[in-house]
Amino acid sequence: MMILGQVENWVAIYDLGGLGLWTIPYKALGVTVQTLAKIYKCRTSKMFVLNASQGFFNCWKIISKFIEERTLAKIQIHTENTCPELLQYVHPS
């Protein structure tokens, strides 16, 4: 909402719908992540990726080794549609 004088945090939720590693729209995903990083710098508190394919999840395990620990703590990748921690940020409906 960008309320003047208030600190706001963003929770980004990406539902990959089980798309395979080669069918994910990486360009669109990249634009979204870059926009969050550029315009809303330091506002993203959590990022949840739901319904990731097993291939995506395995690649994430490798890529995550090269990401800062502070940034890594903000990102969660799940191969299912559910994530108990997500319910701390959003209503189930």
pLDDT in tens, 48-63: 989 988 888 888 899 8
- Provide the sign of the torsion angle of the four alpha carbons 74, 76, 81, 82, taken in this order: negative
Structure confidence at residue 1 (pLDDT)? 55
Q: Is residue 80 part of a domain?
A: yes
| d(C-alpha 35, C-alpha 72), whole Å | 18
> Which segments of the chain have a pLDDT < 50?
none
Q: Is residue 74 part of a domain?
A: yes
Using an 8 Å Cβ cutoff, are 50 and 78 in contact? Answer: yes
Q: Is residue 2 part of a domain?
A: no
Q: Which residues contact 59 (CB under 8 A, 6 or more apart)?
A: 21
pTM confidence score? 0.75
Task: Report the number of distinct structural domains present in the chain.
Answer: 1
Q: Is residue 46 part of a domain?
A: no
Q: Is residue 48 part of a domain?
A: no
Structural domain that includes position 80:
7-29+56-93
Closest CA to 44 of 75, 21, 10: 10
